[in-house]
A and B are shown apart, each in its own frame.
Chain A
Amino acid sequence: MSESGVPELVLPEVEEEQSSSGGRRMVLNMGPQHPSTHGVLRLLLELDGETIVSCRPDIGFLHTGIEKEFEVKNYQQAVTLTDRVDYLAPLSMNLGYCLAVEKLLQLEIPPQAQWMRVMLTELTRLNSHLVWLGTHALDIGAMTVFLYCFREREEILKIFEQFSGQRMMTSYFRIGGLALEPPRGWHERIKTFIDIFPSRIDEYENLLTTNRIWMGRTKGVGVISLEDMLDLAVTGPMLRAAGLKIDARKDAPYSSYEKFDFEIPTRTENDVYARYLVRLEEMRQSVRIVRQAMDGMPAGPWKADAPHVVLPDREKMKTQMEALIYHFKIVTEGFRVPEGEVYQVIESPRGELGYYVVSDGTTNPYRVHMRTPSFGNLQAVPRMVQGALIADVIAAIGSMDFVLGDTDR
């Protein structure tokens, strides 16, 4: 620390040592704009020939201070911030935040809203996994898969647009339920997609699963022991590909996930290939959940019966004095949330997403901390790529499926 209390600038040490093979070690700066880093991640690789001696990730290029921003927004406004964190899984981000605040408010969410949330969050998982699969395959050199995946992703984005008017930054889940009434004709639209999608997963599998180049690039690559991963705060499909059956949707069900019938796929090989298989199977399971939600969608209201939190219907607001007063209060001031703190965990496509929300009894959150899966997962990169080749780094970090917005917040 310097005298002003500000830590001194620490630059990575570049040591030019004699390596075992007689050559000099070299430091390679991968990123922050390397295409395979999917955003702005910088990896400092210390190399001995093509072998990685050590790796140091450098993050923070996408830090936007969202956690600070929460403190000056009221609770409902802050929903729109959550989309921007993990922009590939906006509805998962919405869901975690809404559940946390609803827990503090002790709000009861009507069944239709809960099921809608489950259905759309699973579509988000498909959306996220499709982007992952497409870009991961592209990194490794299989261009076609990318085009296939984005064809299906487009359909999902159109579904989101139909529901919320937005393709990516949906903000469709609000505290107390949904932002808008589900659109007319959603059932047919989703049914069309869900009927055709399993055959599309078969297409991806045809392209990759037994592809010799794909297997050669992914099998036995990026192995890291389960103990290391648990110690390094890794979560999600990475753990499941190492044989650990862990999934918040089963372990601590939220938003009525306990009413759905689905499996948690696991593998034991613990390499890039196993993570690929786990995610593909997760897509099939998500399709199952979406279908169950679609077929069994309960009737009834789509927002909670809580006039002090949920905006009244337009019609009521125009004709009833009481509704007008509530409308005015919610819009101008927001609603107060009882003092307390909660930690709500959900299973995002990338792993454990936790929202720690602290309320001091006012209309703005006192503190919101997002425990995002990408941040924890990235910590394991040095351990994972140590001793590997440069080309394997691309495959290994691709198999983590991180999003830098999710990491840096």
Chain B
Amino acid sequence: MGFTFVPPATYILWTMSEAAATPTPPNKPVAPAPKPFAPEDEVTLRESLKRCSPSTFEAAIQFRKTGNADHVPAVVIGVIERFVEPDLRVKLKDADDDLRLIEDLGIDSLTMMEIVILVEDVLQMSINNEELRNLRTVGDVKTFIDCKVRGLPLPKPTKFLPIEHIGTVMPIQPPFLFLNEASVSSTSASGKYKISGQEFFLQGHFKDNPVMPASIMLEALGQLAVLYLLEGAPAEPGKRVSPQTIFFTGCEGVRAHRLCKPGDILSLSVKPKRMKMPLATFEGSIRVGADKAVIAEEITLTFGFVDIVEAPAPVAAAAAPLRAAVNA
């Protein structure tokens, strides 16, 4: 009963459906209508995308002609770019998926609607208002549109987890927990840890020269991967990943590039590469500001599922005597 996580680009084709021709219930994936792309459609498409880059139009026309969803990210980025004030467009050049729509690109909710309407028009799809609320980053938008186009279940929104929440869900606890905060989506997790200087191991690592051990930094990446498994990974219906089943199994291609010392803030990120029960493999990296600190090509964890139990235990316990009384 395992499931496979495959990066979307390796899906071959989605199935054509009649969904676009009939009204679509909320959240039901929509695939482009199988009607052939006519020359007059090209005129309309060109008019719709007249303020987008030529490459956006090219990607859109390829998608409309072939249905190949690999062109979708280029269309989405091109449409976003068109609505971003010119002086902020350079930020999109590198197309970092973590770029935030509101804070980094100045996109307000009305501009978001403009983006959506144009994407809907160009990709011939429908998007509900509720679906938009959780889109915070460029990556969220790309993933969301990609899932819609391919008819995949929509990703869970990016969740921000403060330290209190991390401590509640993680099997690892202080003084061996190396995450202060984290954000988890269905495709990645990122986190921060500030080296306080009070960490017990810094007393001996090294003598009169506190340096964060590389092994601990690898541990921090592993902990972020654990958090992803618990909070972000898609699970099977009725099941969840059990914290008690997660353990480290191996890592590959680990390199440390920078000494990290008290006061440094580690920016950690992990992305799943493969997931097939009972193994999950991630790539991970740590940065301090703009500096690369640690790269891990592969970190592999083992994990297992348990059934989701309905209703929290204390309520059930409290309700039990009452029910017994009524039954009597």
Are these two chains actual partners, yes or no? no
Q: Which B positions have Cβ atoms within 8 angstroms of A?
A: none
Q: Which A positions have Cβ atoms within 8 angstroms of B?
A: none
